[in-house]
Amino acid sequence: MLTMIRRSGKKLWRDEEGLGTLEMLLIIVVILIIALLFKKQIMELINKLLANVNKKSEEFTS
């Protein structure tokens, strides 16, 4: 099983189209790391935005 994974990994590394996939995977990993580092700030921002939306929708319906 492990050798099969290694072979497919090597094949992916040699394939030029696979490099595009690898680059996309690395970009996703970097975005996830940044999101985890700033999780608290992102959640605060989202909560503020949702509270603002709630307030505006209540003003609109009243």
Residue-wise pLDDT for 10-31, tens only, equals 776 666 665 677 888 899 999 9
Residue in the structure block whose two tokens are 């995977």: 25
Q: Residue 42 — very low, low, confident or very high, per pLDDT cuts 50/70/90?
A: very high
pLDDT of residue 56 exceeding 90, the answer is no
User: How far apart are alpha carbons 57 and 7 in whole angstroms?
Assistant: 56
H/E element, 7: helix 2-14
3-class secondary-structure state, position 32: helix
| Angle made by CA atoms 35, 25, 17, in degrees to the nearest 5 | 155
